[in-house]
Amino acid sequence: MTTFAELLLNGISMGAVYALIALGFVIIFKASEVVNFAHASLLLAGGFITAKLHGSIGFWPALAAGIAGAAAVGCLVEFLVIRRSKAADHSVLAIATIGVDIVLATEIARHIGTDVLAMGDPWGDQVVRLGPVSISEARLAALLVAFVLIATFLLAFKHTGWGVAMRAAAEDGETAALMGVRLSRVSMSAWAVAGALAAVAALFLAVFPTPGLDKTTGMVALKAFPAAILGGLDSTTGALVGGLLIGVTEALMSGYQGDLSFLGRGIGDVAPFLVMLLVLLIRPAGLFGTRELTRV
């Protein structure tokens, strides 16, 4: 039972981090109707900046720089690729983001090389005991930070002018433009926010129990992709539920993989995609989505 509770808590914590990434996918899709395959490299860029700077300017300023940097990279991709494109078909843009991802990821991987970079985070490998259940401080921090960020985002999405503009543009871009919404600004802000959230996610993907940031950290973002898809690519709620579902599934499958040995080792890594397949077979638009992915 204790094992289960620990796995569950860890799963929720990982799920919250996946949700941060998935939320980025979703708002980019809502604002510019592009499935952003470059999300992994946005994440890597944010993490890399934090890892490189924390030695000289301290952890918190470095984290802020990483967040700002990833947001800037997001803006740049929007400005240089998405906005310039004359492609009418959004699937062309999605493929263009694959190209952007390869360029960015290769460049960052060149700088990282074979190193595993420490993030310089204050949590280290301490473990907190909550009764019989123990969880690492870093996981607990991830849970809390993700919770606060997601709540802030959702409140802003619901109540601020930015949120109203974003939702209006997502629902009907032409009419939003008729109301004076600057669609290019909405789109760019979505990329910036998605980049910032990805940078925070990068931090928590690279701290304990992970040894640090290496050139494959971005690949973890791929697990958030099923999270966004199974939640419904145009639903913020879906991103949260999808993230948690993936996180918990992965944690439980990995934790009990001794009992599931007939499925082979490493089932935890495959589980997110199995869940996505199952959900999509039953609900093609995702759990909370309203649109099937005809645009992908």
DSSP label at 262?
G
CA distances from 56 to 51, 61, 215, 220, 235 (A): 10, 10, 22, 27, 40
How far apart are CB 179 and other proteins at their closest, in Å?
5
Q: Which is nearer to other proteins, 175 or 216 (CB)?
A: 175
Q: Which is nearer to other proteins, 93 or 149 (CB)?
A: 93
How far apart are CB 30 and other proteins at their closest, in Å?
11
User: Quick check: 88 binds other proteins (CB under 8 A)?
Assistant: yes
User: Quick check: 89 binds other proteins (CB under 8 A)?
Assistant: no
Q: Which is nearer to other proteins, 52 or 295 (CB)?
A: 295
φ, ψ of residue 258 in degrees (nearest 5) = -60, -40
Q: Scanning residues 236 to 265, which ones bind other proteins (CB under 8 A)?
A: none
How far apart are CB 88 and other proteins at their closest, in Å?
7
Q: Which stretch binds other proteins (CB under 8 A): 32-40, 114-122, 157-165, 239-247?
A: 157-165
Least Cα distance to 158 among 12, 184, 150 occurs for 150
How far apart are CB 161 and other proteins at their closest, in Å?
6
- Spell out the residues 6+ positions from residue 238 whose beta carbon is closer than 8 angstroms to its own: 26, 228, 230, 231, 232, 286, 287, 288, 289
Q: Which helix (H) or strand (E) holds 129?
A: strand 127-130
Round to whole Å and give the CA distance between 50 and 45. 9
How far apart are CB 165 and other proteins at their closest, in Å?
5
Quick one: angle between helices 217-231 and 236-255, nearest 10? 120
User: Quick check: 86 binds other proteins (CB under 8 A)?
Assistant: no
Q: Scanning residues 163 to 182, which ones bind other proteins (CB under 8 A)?
A: 164-165, 167-168, 171-182
* Total residues binding other proteins (CB under 8 A): 19
Rg (CA), the chain: 19
> Which residues of the chain form contacts with other proteins (CB under 8 A)?
88, 161, 164-165, 167-168, 171-183
